[in-house]
Structure 1
Amino acid sequence: MNLESPTVTVEKSPEAVFNFLSNIKNFKKLMPENISKFEVLSDDTFLFALKGMPEIVLKKKELIAPNKIVLGAAGGKIDFSLTGLITELGEEKSDVQLLFHGEFNAMMAMMIKGPISKFIETLASNIPGSI
C-alpha cells in the first residue's frame, strides 16, 4: 500500500527542513491532536500512540541531506516506512511531501488506509507552522 500526503510549501531552505525532520524530537510538534503518547527512545527512535490505536515505534533508516528522510517501523508485526521528500523551490522555500509504504493484506489495508492517510496529511500540514 502506497499513500502520499499533499505537498506543503515551507518558507525555509531544504537544509532547515531536513535538519528539523532529522531531529526526531520535533515529530511531537507534528502529531495530530489525538495523540495519547509520544516518547523518544534514542537519538534515532521514537514511540507514539494515537487514541484507540496501538503504539508504533519509528526509527530513522536513511538520511540523504537535504532531500530525503526515511523512517521505518522498528520491530512490531507490521513493516512500513514513512519517507519525507524535500524539494528546493528557492533559497528559503521548499516543498515537502510524505510518502507511506507498507505491505499489508487486503483486509488490513482496507481498515488502515483512511486513518493512515489522515495521519500523514496531518503531519505534512503541521510542518510549515512548526519549523
Structure 2
Amino acid sequence: MNLESKKTTINKSSQEVFDFLSEVKNFEKLMPENISKFEVLGDDKFLFALKGMPEIILKKKEVVPPNKIVLGAAGGKIDFSLVGDITDIDENSSDVKLTFSGDFNPMMAMMIKGPISKFIDTLTVNIPNAI
C-alpha cells in the first residue's frame, strides 16, 4: 500500500526543511492534536501514539541531504516506511511531500488507509508552521 500526501510549499530552503526533519524530536511539533504520547528514544528514533492506536516506533533509515529522509518501523510486526521528499523551488522555498509505504494484507490495508492518509496529510500541513 502506498499513500501520498499533497505537496506543500514552504517558504524555507530545502536545506532548512531537511535540517528540521532530520531532528527526530521535531516530529512532535508535526503530530496531530489527538497524540497521546511522544518520546524521543535516541538521535534517530522516536515513539508516538495517537489516541486509540498502538504505539509506533519510527527510526531514521536513510538520509539524502537535502532532498530525502526515510523513516521506517523500528521493530514490531508491521514493516512500513515514511519518506519525506523535499524539492527545491528556489533558494528560499521548497516543496515537501510525504509518502507512506507498507505491505499489508487487504483487510488491514482497508482499516488503516483512512487514518494513515489523514495522519500524513496532517504532518505535511503542520510543517510550514513548525519550522
TM beyond 0.5: yes
Write the letter of the residue equivalent to 2:28.
K
Displacement, 1:19?
A: 0.1
Secondary structure (helix, strand or coil) at the match of 1:66 reads coil
Give TM-score scaled by structure 1 length: 1.00
Map 1:33-72; keep pairs closer than 5 Å.
33-72=33-72
* Unmatched 5+ stretches in structure 2: none
Displacement, 1:20?
A: 0.1
Runs of 4+ that moved beyond 3 A: none
* Unmatched 5+ stretches in structure 1: none
1:85-121 Cα offsets, whole Å, 9 max, x none, are 0000000100000000000000000000000000000
Write the letter of the residue equivalent to 1:51.
K
Map 1:61-100; keep pairs closer than 5 Å.
61-100=61-100
Percent identical residues = 73
- In 1, distance between residues paired with 2:14 and 2:77? 34
What's the counterpart of residue 31 of structure 1? 31
Displacement, 1:126?
A: 0.2
Write the letter of the residue equivalent to 1:56.
I
Secondary structure (helix, strand or coil) at the match of 2:84 reads strand
Give TM-score scaled by structure 2 length: 1.00
Write the letter of the residue equivalent to 1:116.
I
- In 1, distance between residues paired with 2:2 and 2:36? 26
Displacement, 1:54?
A: 0.1
- In 1, distance between residues paired with 2:108 and 2:47? 21
RMSD: 0.2
